[in-house]
Structure 1
Amino acid sequence: MTDQLQDEIAKLQDMIAEARAVVGFTGAGISTESGVPDFRSPDSPWMRNKPIPFDLFVASPAARQEAWRRKFTMDDLYREAKPNRGHRAFAELVAVGKMTAVITQNIDGLHQESGIPAERTVELHGNGTYARCLECNTRHELAPIRTIFEQRGAAPVCEMCGGVLKSATISFGQAMPVDAMRKAHELATDCDLFLVVGSSLVVYPAASLPLLAKKNGAKLIILNREKTPLDEVADLVIHAEIGPVLESFVR
């Protein structure tokens, strides 16, 4: 570890210690240490199994069948994924009352698995660990859906109302979740430190939240391997692997 990185970690620790209310904001980068692939790495499996756009999913049974095939293919790639040092650091900060909540772009459910209560996790892009009916909104677990899919080779339907079942994620072209966006805006407005970890900050409207926090007087920290469009306005930028930087917060 370089002297510069050690100095940056020390500043990160000081800024968190001095903050009244920290809000965490995470993207795919926080989960790569767990074995969950991100979207922009070369030859990412997400590029070979791109999510089907929402309008096409709704309109076409064949598209729904292909969407479920891709969904289960991706699930198999990170079936054994467990929370890593980054997730556990955030869980510790929430547990001690320093971090009020975590806003995440991720769909893997690893923040909740790390111990962060669901009510303190704001999922902007939904959750891929279960499904919902697009008609009646009933939650469905994935295991029985997969069994039916593999037996019949067709996209599953809701056993309650016969409606279309879809992974509980937000697809391209699908409306953002109103309650999650409202809660994220409230958190960004009320915090005094906004900590971005593992996000490229190019996907909107999620990427507008750090600027909202900054506009309302919060300090902004960005921890990401690559540069982001908001590096210039951040109070601290750390370009490094996430686990080694955050492990000091893990008991």
Structure 2
Amino acid sequence: MRPQLQRLASALIEAQRILIITGAGLSADSGLPTYRGIGGLYNDHTDDGVPIEVAMSGEMLRRDPALCWKYLAQLGSACLGARPNAAHRAIAQLQTLKPDCWVLTQNIDGYHRLAGSPEDRLIEIHGELAPLHCQRCGQADERLAEHLQQPLPPLCAACDGVLRPPVTLFGEMLPVAALERLRRQLAKGFDLVISVGTSASFPYIAEPVMQARRSGGVTVEVTLSRTAISDLVDFRLEERALDVFPELLSHITAHNICK
């Protein structure tokens, strides 16, 4: 194992409370495009002439639900057409080995849950793609894949209201329950925080890293592009999570066997 990974693996073995923060770069290795940067779908305007932040906003869903759903459907189809990768699975296994290891994800693809991350230690800060629910009557609808094959926007079978996924669209507030879970865990502190595949541009993503740094914890960044926190972390790996996490897991597993 490379020296830097060896040191990071040792830090993971010693740490008790661990937070892994994940962004679009993690799921890019599953074939899911990111919004921005390397492999980004929307590095400029959409083909409707508006930025993706406008097209996929709460305001657009109210004003022109068909246009908003055009881009929600692109994202939904991409998510349903791919699967968790080796990094998702390694993170889930790390959570099995470390009972106080949490995942905070910006991703709405559900891959952490599919890979086996326990829901009681998973914070999906931007929500998820399913189940859909009616904005008029509140009825739930589990048929996301079916609706994506039909005219958009999808409508409620009970009242013909427009359906929406439980995601945080641009311009909307973050889920209160998810924020509260994050606040409770941050109040307890973390010995080690890893930022994976995210630009860390949102305060609620960067702050856990900064808090760990202030308290003397170990901070790590795994991403192919430099970010605002790149110069502040103890370990920076400009590599794919797909390569890093299985290697880390193998070392930690071997250490546990030898104990």
The TM-score by the shorter chain falls in which range?
Answer: 0.7 to 0.9
Greater per-residue strand proportion: 1
Counterparts of 2:116 and 2:162, CA distance in 1: 32
Shift of 1:18: 0.6
Partner of 2:196: 197
What CA deviation, in whole Å up to 9, does each residue of 1:47-104 have, x standing for no partner? 547342112312x2xx211222222233334533111121011100111235532100
Structure 1 8/189 Cα, relative in aligned 2: closer, same or farther at 3 Å?
farther
What CA deviation, in whole Å up to 9, does each residue of 1:93-151 have, x standing for no partner? 1112355321000011000000112222101111124323345554322134335xx2x
Which stretch of structure 1 is more off in the superposition, 128-137 or 102-111? 128-137
**Contact 1:184-1:209 at 8 Å conserved across structures:** no
Structure 1 131/102 Cα, relative in aligned 2: closer, same or farther at 3 Å?
same
**Contact 1:222-1:234 at 8 Å conserved across structures:** yes
Counterparts of 1:155 and 1:161, CA distance in 2: 14
**Contact 1:30-1:242 at 8 Å conserved across structures:** yes
Which stretch of structure 1 is more off in the superposition, 208-217 or 84-93? 208-217
Counterparts of 1:81 and 1:21, CA distance in 2: 31
Shift of 1:194: 1.1
Counterparts of 1:214 and 1:137, CA distance in 2: 43
Shift of 1:24: 1.1
Counterparts of 1:134 and 1:204, CA distance in 2: 29
Partner of 1:210: 209
Counterparts of 1:36 and 1:169, CA distance in 2: 17
> Alpha carbon RMSD of aligned pairs, Å?
2.4
Which stretch of structure 1 is more off in the superposition, 153-162 or 86-95? 153-162
Counterparts of 1:159 and 1:127, CA distance in 2: 21
Shift of 1:7: 1.6
Structure 2 residues without counterparts, runs of 5 or longer:
254-259
The alignment's TM-score, normalised by the length of structure 2, stands at 0.82
Aligned length: 240
**Contact 2:79-2:109 at 8 Å conserved across structures:** no
Q: 2:166 aligns with which of 165, 168, 185?
A: 168
Structure 1 88/199 Cα, relative in aligned 2: closer, same or farther at 3 Å?
same
**Contact 1:188-1:213 at 8 Å conserved across structures:** no
Counterparts of 2:39 and 2:222, CA distance in 1: 23
**Contact 1:130-1:140 at 8 Å conserved across structures:** yes
The alignment's TM-score, normalised by the length of structure 1, stands at 0.84
2:59 matches 1:55: yes
Letter in structure 1 aligned against 2:80: R
Shift of 1:217: 4.3
Letter in structure 1 aligned against 2:186: A
Counterparts of 2:244 and 2:200, CA distance in 1: 19
Counterparts of 1:94 and 1:216, CA distance in 2: 23
Partner of 1:225: 224
Structure 1 residues without counterparts, runs of 5 or longer:
none
Partner of 1:143: 145
Letter in structure 2 aligned against 1:87: H
Partner of 1:81: 82
Structure 1 131/232 Cα, relative in aligned 2: closer, same or farther at 3 Å?
same
2:21 matches 1:25: yes
Q: 1:39 aligns with which of 20, 35, 41?
A: 35
Counterparts of 2:211 and 2:136, CA distance in 1: 34
Structure 1 133/215 Cα, relative in aligned 2: closer, same or farther at 3 Å?
farther
**Contact 2:80-2:145 at 8 Å conserved across structures:** no
Partner of 1:121: 122
Partner of 2:256: none
Alignment of 1:83-98 (within 5 A): 83-98=84-99
What CA deviation, in whole Å up to 9, does each residue of 1:133-177 have, x standing for no partner? 345554322134335xx2xx3523334565442122111111111
Partner of 1:14: 10
Structure 1 115/40 Cα, relative in aligned 2: closer, same or farther at 3 Å?
same
2:175 matches 1:177: yes
What CA deviation, in whole Å up to 9, does each residue of 1:196-217 have, x standing for no partner? 1111111343333322343444
